[in-house]
Chains A and B, each alone.
Chain A
Amino acid sequence: MTDKRLLGAIATTRFGLGARAGEIDEAAGDPIGWVLAQTDRATAPRWPGALHSSELLNEARRIGEMEPVARLRHEWFAVTLRGEQAPEAVHACTTAAPFRERWAMFWRNHFALKLGASFVDLIGTAFAREALDPHLFGRFEDMAAAAARHPAMLMSLDQVGSVGPNSTLGRAHNRGLNENLARETLELHTLGVKGGYDQGDVTELAKALTGWSLGEGVMHGRFVNDPARREPGPRRILNQTWPETDDRAEQIVRTLARKPATAEHLAVKLARHFVADEPPADLVKGLRTTFLSTGGDLGAVAKALVTAPEAWVREQRKFKTPVEFVTSVHRAAGTLPEEPATMLGAVRDMGQLWFCARTPDGHSDRAAAWATPQGLALRAHYAWTHAHKSAALDSREFTQTALGPLAQGRTKATVASRAGGDRPNAFALVAMSPEFQRR
């Protein structure tokens, strides 16, 4: 039965977000089934009462107009942002469907919102709820289309001000294109940087996307498809000609989302995220094939990933990101920080943001970005401060919960030697063990 427990430990750490008490045993009965049970398409929204992105943006506008004191405006923003993001961190630490959450995190990073543009961070959570979550195990093209036209993405990638030079608005106000969203749609979201497009395709897609913008007045904070901004005429992208229609831009994004280059791009990223920085070629090939044969069904791709033997090798080849580390510490200890926003600040100090990223290509999924001297020191500090606090476990139970059969002899011995009185250190050392730093 040791083998089953080992697979349970792999399921909870590599596919989940780190084991909670009893989770390794729970998964050990049927490790693949435990993961796949979390891929049900029809799940209730995570935050039934949450505000829609347009409500958040309207509230932000109202505060901006009504509140004369800058300090109070900033305070409102900070409190609202914390109220949006902290529950997400708590959810990651407590969810009984951690594979689903990891999968959601992967797609949030794939469609990373660039921090800094106005109010993008404020609606980063709403973007995930509205554009990504409904499609997590659905069709990729649905997700890509929803993400591309969401207000958060339109703002993040400067689509809002892009106007066809020969459109009604462009002629009247001498306005022009902003190709940012077009470029990143091709480069980051679909085909990938070596996906076979050129600058001509970028420009043509930018022209095709004109019209997509944010509304004004009652439509403030909502997507609009404004014909007055649309560059007239047919567009030619990747050797395909698109006559001018109202839904052309969306159809182009959907077509890009089904291309073999997109399948390859996504297969490499998924295999890299779940299995190894340099992913096994057979696994990439398998995911790519599944994606193409199912028309980009992400549920089928998830199943192909979870049933691939390469994904279940004992060797832990992934170094946890800060978010994964912090989450897994709290899951194993069964605790949360007194102030959940502590987690957001801690991962920021380690160089990662829970939502949004510094750049639209998202956070790195390679060890080199996270295995740094300061990163390790900050992890040790976090573990020492938070791991043991209010945990009902002793350090041996913590080791068993967190690692089960993955725990190495050296770690167990190190912990045992401090199990008596030195509780903060004993917990921190488990969290800092090589087998807990990796997955």
Chain B
Amino acid sequence: MAVERIFKDEASEEKGERARMASFVGAMAIADLVKTTLGPKGMDKILQSTGRGRAVTVTNDGATILKSLHIDNPAAKVLIDISKVQDDEVGDGTTSVVVLAGELLREAEKLVAAKIHPMTIISGFRMAAECARDALLRKVMDNKEDAEKFKSDLMKIAMTTLSSKILSQDKEHFAQLAVDAVMRLKGSTNLESIQIIKKPGGSLKDSFLDEGFILDKKIGIGQPKRIENAKILVANTAMDTDKVKIYGARVRVDSMARAAEIEGAEKQKMREKVQKIIGHGINCFVNRQLIYNFPEELFADAGILAIEHADFDGIERLALVTGGEIASTFDNPESVKLGHCKLIEEIMIGDDKLIHFSGVEMGQACTIVLRGSSHHVLDEAERSLHDALCVLSQTVNDSRVLLGGGWPEMLMAKEVDELARKTPGKKSHAIDAFSRALIAIPSTIADNAGLDSAELIAQLRAEHQKEGCTAGIDVITGSVGDMAELGISEAFKVKQAVLLSATEAAEMILRVDEIITCAPRRREDRMNQSSITLMANSSEFDPQLFVSHKFPESTYTYTERDAVIYALGVGACGKDAVDADELKYVYHENGQQFIQVLPTFSALFSIRMSSTGGLHLPGLEYDPRLLLHGQQYIEIYKPLPSSASVRTEACIAGLHDKGKAAIIEIETKCFHSESGELLFMNRMTAFLRGAGGFSKSSQPFSYSNYPTNQASAAKIPKGQPFAALLYRLSGDYNPLHSDPEIAKVAGFSRPILHGLCTLGFAVRAIIKCICRGDPNMVKSISGRFLLHVYPGETLITEMWIEGLRVIYQVKVKERNRTVLSGYVDLHRLASSL
């Protein structure tokens, strides 16, 4: 018996080795992705966003790269999260942590392949991580007591951090900037009071640190450009028109004179407000909202500097650094706290005028003005500087310092190696692997710098056997150098976080032995709204209008002749002109009164294509040559009469945007003109190709669900080369099926067979094999067109019976590809089956 499915249709489950494999591969792929950015000679990545404008970011910051990736692999997501945590906690080492985790997993993979249980590996890793941390702790240097040395430590750390970034050219300059800024904070980690302003122009070297606060605003005309000992009122109040806030109030006047009076009163009100503000004894007024001309003029008259429309962050920061409060009412001047600063002046950076507040009360605040040739450079510079600031501010709190340049990794690897030798049991393999993973980091750094990593690592390892060794990789000269002399240092906190988080991430992924992916949530309702822009050139296309469009009712009359031509078109009697089962479709056999009509004949009465090969759709512009028939669903309520006049009602049943293409569903109901009975319903799904790419429609049809063991019939009707030309006569005059030129435009080597014709072939075969030739047993038909068919190809229809449903698929024998799949529901089964 088949194993019961317990998940929803599209959910998937991966177990054991496969799951582990999937997560290993995903995690290592991510690690390899950022691997090349590691170290001072690491390369950058260009990230292009998929959003509007295709904005470009150039960076080698691991966290930034990973943040921008859209990843589907769950294990990869874990690594991205880990790098995010690293970014939040210490701000640097985001690449290292991912690379180390990736290396750990790479080693773990080998161990798993050698049949070591993941739990054993994990406990080995844990022991190793603990040992490595202890090794680092023994070797840390702490210069907290000695201010001078501490500062030089900070400088070294900043330079090491910056050396792998875009700022490496001017790393001394920027290291100085960062250290100065952080020292001003006096131990607080509140990086908010360091403001970074980016101004394009000049070179990176022109960037500078400014004590005080810079507001990116201009000073109003006619107002003082320089104020000493400023008293600042920071406000958040309306300075345009001070509206009456009582709900429902409105001005209703009967003459212009009255209106003028009221306006006067308003002006008076504003004047009073301004007077009150001036009454605070200030000489600078900063407002979050707009200041209109009138009050501005009043301020200018009073010799007060009025700055309008500062952003909210700016206001809060200004209030913070100047020690004022943000005011909204001005009735009690004595109790409002004013901000103070020594000097306000207008300064020029590049072409821009900015307002500079210096000598503020809170001495911690400072501003770093970054200059650079382009926005990309500035953005990357800001990220790099941010990393450096984060690391420095953390180091101020935890002043333990290590040497850099792969020294800590080699140190840890040595200790871990020794532990591995001492540990009995399988764990020692894992511990050994841990040390190899650690060495991978300096070797990556060397590789990225284009050095011979194997040689260098071997040398380093030899050096580290000596006691008190300070050797590391000197990337600049490409040899083993003394890190203490070269002044390359790293913060202990960063290294520790890298070690612990990477181990944790590797452990997390190793522990997984099963991945269960839920069926993705459907997001259909959104499709109707956004969409269409791609195919509808006219911008005013309204999907709602389109959906509510009603096609005109139309009436068709068909005769037996049409039904016969159709039957021939789908190959009835194509093989044997006296086929007993099929003769009835084309001839009044055995004196039967009417010929039998194939159920798929009804498909002809779905909305007809116009003779140019397209259907007219309101407001929707598309290339009719690129239209493809996607699916057809037919429900038959009454057996089709052999000749009749029918009335059709068509409407749009669905419209989906698929990015590059649109899918429309048109539902056609067909009534008998005389009796008014509903005969059949057609639902046609058309695929309007924009630039290709097929995605699942709203009713995804999974043909993998075929019961493989019940194939009951296979039939090979030989297709005729002229099938398309014959079928065409039934009313689908789309030139795609007859004109070689048009077919070329649509991307086919020659005219293709009508999709409905293929469907007709299939259903005819089903009726013959399963219904024992009785077309009236068919209740409904659903088909999905997967691939085109060229006339003359051999079609194989495979069928499976499942209850009252016949599942079928049509293959092209020559290409062995499935071209059509679907199901046919029957009213009943033929008694002999």
Instruction: Say if A and B assemble together.
Output: no
Residues of A whose CB lies within 8 Å of any CB of B are none
